[in-house]
Amino acid sequence: MFDVVPFDSRAGTYALASLHAVCFPKPWDAAAISALLVTPGTFAFAHEDGFVLARVAGAEAEILTLAVAPLARGQGLGRALLQAVITKAAKMGAAHLFLEVGVDNPAAQALYGGLGFARVGTRKAYYDGGDALVLRLSLPAKFA
């Protein structure tokens, strides 16, 4: 349904930073995204309306950020981006995939829960005073 492709950092990160800016109150700029993309094990998948940035270190992987433009939400793009990361992280040898999500973000919690992520902890005051749930998915994962 969605043409989600590996992001080639040579293409530049300004588009990713622009997407991040419409999705988050404290967005990452192109320099921050570029700095993450050059660290070992870090990769991204992108679409014109969203992207996901993740990294694998040993047997663990983590979602660093997932951004989907507000007008594109609820159409399956976030799920497609996450499925691409889940598949790649497993191929890279990760046994678990982690992420944090705000306790005040039920839509994202539903997205992650629908893919099989389960709560394993809480980070107090993680997002500017707001708590975050720590979620984990065992890999390889099967999705419907």
pLDDT mean by block of 10 residues, the chain; 144 residues: 73 89 94 94 94 97 97 95 96 97 95 96 89 96 73
Does the annotation count 112 as an active-site position?
Answer: yes
pLDDT value, residue 10? 59
pLDDT value, residue 1? 65
Task: Tell me the CATH class for 5-138.
Answer: alpha beta
Query: Among the options 48, 60, 62, 100, which is catalytic?
Result: 100
Between CA 86 and CA 52 the distance in angstroms is: 11
Domain boundaries, the chain: 5-138
For residues 102-111, one letter each, b for 16 or more C-beta atoms within 10 angstroms of the residue's C-beta and e for the rest, the string is eeeeeebbeb
Question: Taking Cα atoms as reference points, which of 31, 54, 33 lies closest to residue 44?
Answer: 54
Does the annotation count 100 as an active-site position?
Answer: yes
pLDDT value, residue 119? 97
